[in-house]
Structure 1
Amino acid sequence: MFVYSHCCGLDVHKKTVVACIITPEEKEIRTFSTMTDDLISMVDWIKDKGCTYVAMESTGSFWKPIYNLLELEDIQALVVNNAKHMKNVPGRRTDVKDTEWIAGLLRHGLLQGSYIPYRDQRELRELIRYRRSLIEERAREINRIQKVLEGANIKLSSVTSDTLGKSGRAMIEAMIAGEEDPKILSELAQRRLKNKKEDLQRALKGLIGSHQKLVLKTQLRHIDFLSDEIKDWTKRLKSECSLLTKTWSCWTPFPVWGGARLNKF
């Protein structure tokens, strides 16, 4: 007994999509490119054949454009990213084409799809992931600054845990500007670091060259740029979330942002 009478299986690759439609009357296989025009033609073909359910096997993010187009046409799509799950279904033979196998499994209701969030959730997650990538890139740049300082035997990180705090930043900028006297540099300490001036003087006694100053100057500019971008993205995401709050109030759990719920910025 068939669970779905009209269904389609898709084997999605980077450049091509192999599609197999199975209906009570026929079985048809076609190959399409992954260019937008061809994908639209494929979705139109699926719709014309009366298919209301589609299953696709894909790796990476190649499935996303197809899923978005199917979603616009109200065609239910099942994404099977776990190839192991499909291979474990009894009866598969090596000479059976993947796309026919996918369509056949879907027809009998034997596929388990991956969880795909709603469109607005997917879009917001992409924005959140990009913001997180900016934060991670800034952290990497800070680590690079640490390495440059260590290369010049500047042991600032041994005295303060926040190398780029107000005090650390001021000292680094002063070194870039040409100041080399550890005593003068230590006078730039603020708050609790004022009590560690002796340690700072020892830590700031290094050999920083002109090439290291140039690298540090560029790194600080890059960090400032990333910090500004992160602030802009935070504002943008807050705005996006405020528009979706009413919709999301009925969803649990809320999507997370770096471990914190999105409704708690």
Structure 2
Amino acid sequence: MVRKKVMELEIINAKAAGIDVGSRSHYVAVGQSLQDVKEFGVYAEDLTTLCEWLLSYDITTVAMESTGDYWQNLFTELVKHGIDVTLCNGKFTKHPKGKKTDVKDCRHIQKLHALGLLTSSFLPDEVTEKLRTYTRQRNNMLSLASAASRKMQKYLKFLNFRLDVVVKDVCGLTGLKIIEDICKGNLDPYLLAEHRHYNCRKSKEEIAKALHGNNREDFLFGLKQELESYQFFQKKIKACDKEITRFVKEEIKKTPRKQKLKTSDKPYKRVNKNAPAIPNLNQIAFQYFDGVDLMAIEGLSHATVMAIMSEIGPDGFEKFRTSKEFVSWLRLAPNNKISGGKVLSSKTPKGSNRLKIALRQAANAMGNLKDTHLSDFFNRVAYRRGRQAAVSATARKLGVIIWTMVTKKVPYSPPNEYLFLDQKRKMKLVTRI
């Protein structure tokens, strides 16, 4: 008879537990036998009982999946009781072939964690997490406002008011005043055209020509409803901006040394209407990152800097030992699949997060600049592999630059310095004098 070979694996975490997180109950395993598994509820007292039960078995570390939002309260309670938590991605805890149950899942997670086969996901510090809550709420309001704006345009087309043809932005200064006047009952195209802003390219006559509508009552009612929704969401966005400004300034005040830091003004940086309305964000970001001037990078907007502050924060960069680890976490680095000495694939892995999206948008904007270090790199890649590949490559390069600046406290120094239009004008004035 052939004897079965038994493979012995070294136990890395002797006092480890595994939790299968659910919406209505959590299954906890402190061992591999059925007696070592217990079910707990999701109420506050149930979570406290769960932690006390783990401590009765001298458990020091716990692994669980980041399933939806159900893990957050349990995670907080475990940390409060001094238990080390490994929050891992669900793809690392896939159950082997066979029947899948909650009991088997928690035992499988406990086994993997005891053998040291699970790695923890990135979690920001408490300050960054609070700032992230404010900014994500702002982004939610922004998306709702844009949805209301699109519906306003739809009702305007139904009314045959072709405001989108004569005005670049329906929710701009001219467009909003005209829509507000329409909702008040003024349907005279010539009186509506009087709201034309002096920067508008179209004349009053052409605007009046586009505002001869059918004046249907049902479409006017829908337009009024969407205008009220848009104005409501704009108020919410302003409230979020005030709260973000207050929170960031309070964090800077906690370190008096940061308050003394000053950076140069950057009037050439355009402020988009959807960007956070935070006064002097350039100065605030410089102090928040302890003297690192991220706004010095050409093409990096106020919204991108705000995304970096809220999604990872200054302390979050320290959790990545190298810039390669950072861009790999962002899923911007190629994922080489090698078999038999051959590279089968080098595609960028699937997956996204808000910081990756912000860096890709910044990289896309850099591709529209001229004669800069990053735009030259963008154009070289775009010439060989197309714009999409250039956006990913430039976003990865941008991630490496930001990680280096924040962790090593070095200024941005491209090989060839780029001068914006305002800087070029100042140089011409100096040479004339």
TM-score normalised over the length of structure 2: 0.54
Q: Which residue of structure 2 lines up, in the alignment, with residue 157 of structure 1? A: 164
Distance 1:119 1:47, change over 3 A: farther
Q: Which residue of structure 2 lines up, in the alignment, with residue 49 of structure 1? A: 57
Asked if the contact 1:167–1:190 (Cα under 8 Å) also holds between the matched residues in 2, the reply is: yes
Q: Which residue of structure 2 lines up, in the alignment, with residue 20 of structure 1? A: 29
Helix, strand or coil: the match of 1:115?
A: coil
Cα displacement string for residues 3-36 of structure 1 (whole angstroms, at most 9, x for unaligned residues): 111111000111110001149xx97210011122
Asked if the contact 2:167–2:202 (Cα under 8 Å) also holds between the matched residues in 1, the reply is: no
User: How far apart are the structure 2 equivalents of 1:107 and 1:205?
Assistant: 73
Which is worse superposed, 104-113 or 164-173?
164-173
Between Structure 1 and Structure 2, how many residues are aligned? 257
> Out of 56, 61, 77, which is 1:69 matched to?
77
**Runs in 1 of length 4+ with deviation above 6 angstroms?**
none
Distance 1:249 1:184, change over 3 A: closer
Structure (1/2) with the larger strand percentage? 1
> Out of 227, 234, 240, which is 2:247 matched to?
240
Q: Which residue of structure 1 lines up, in the alignment, with residue 98 of structure 2? A: 94
Helix, strand or coil: the match of 1:187?
A: helix
Q: Which residue of structure 2 lines up, in the alignment, with residue 59 of structure 1? A: 67
Distance 1:174 1:87, change over 3 A: closer
User: How far apart are the structure 2 equivalents of 1:202 and 1:93?
Assistant: 68
Q: Which residue of structure 1 lines up, in the alignment, with residue 16 of structure 2? A: 7
Counterpart mapping for 1:179-194 below 5 A: 179-193=186-200
Which is worse superposed, 8-17 or 187-196?
187-196
Counterpart mapping for 1:66-215 below 5 A: 66-82=74-90, 84-87=91-94, 92=96, 94=98, 97-193=104-200, 195-215=202-222
Helix, strand or coil: the match of 2:36?
A: strand
Asked if the contact 2:28–2:38 (Cα under 8 Å) also holds between the matched residues in 1, the reply is: yes
User: How far apart are the structure 2 equivalents of 1:116 and 1:228?
Assistant: 31
Gaps of 5+ in 2: 1-9, 256-287, 295-300, 311-433
Q: 1:39 deviation in Å?
A: 1.1
Letter in 1 for 2:306: R
User: How far apart are the structure 2 equivalents of 1:257 and 1:73?
Assistant: 39
Asked if the contact 1:10–1:102 (Cα under 8 Å) also holds between the matched residues in 2, the reply is: yes
Letter in 2 for 1:215: G
Query: Please, what is the CA RMSD of the aligned residues?
Result: 2.9
Gaps of 5+ in 1: none
Q: 1:219 deviation in Å?
A: 2.0
Q: 1:194 deviation in Å?
A: 7.0
Q: 1:172 deviation in Å?
A: 1.8
Helix, strand or coil: the match of 1:193?
A: coil
Q: Percent identity?
A: 25
Higher relative contact order (Cα pairs below 8 Å, separated by 6+ residues): 1
Q: 1:86 deviation in Å?
A: 2.4
TM-score normalised over the length of structure 1: 0.86
Distance 1:47 1:249, change over 3 A: farther
Cα displacement string for residues 28-84 of structure 1 (whole angstroms, at most 9, x for unaligned residues): 2100111221111101211232211100124211111111111212211111232x3
> Out of 251, 255, 259, which is 2:304 matched to?
259
User: How far apart are the structure 1 equivalents of 2:248 and 2:184?
Assistant: 43
Asked if the contact 2:152–2:223 (Cα under 8 Å) also holds between the matched residues in 1, the reply is: yes
Which is worse superposed, 236-245 or 128-137?
236-245
Distance 1:264 1:50, change over 3 A: closer
User: How far apart are the structure 1 equivalents of 2:210 and 2:161?
Assistant: 6
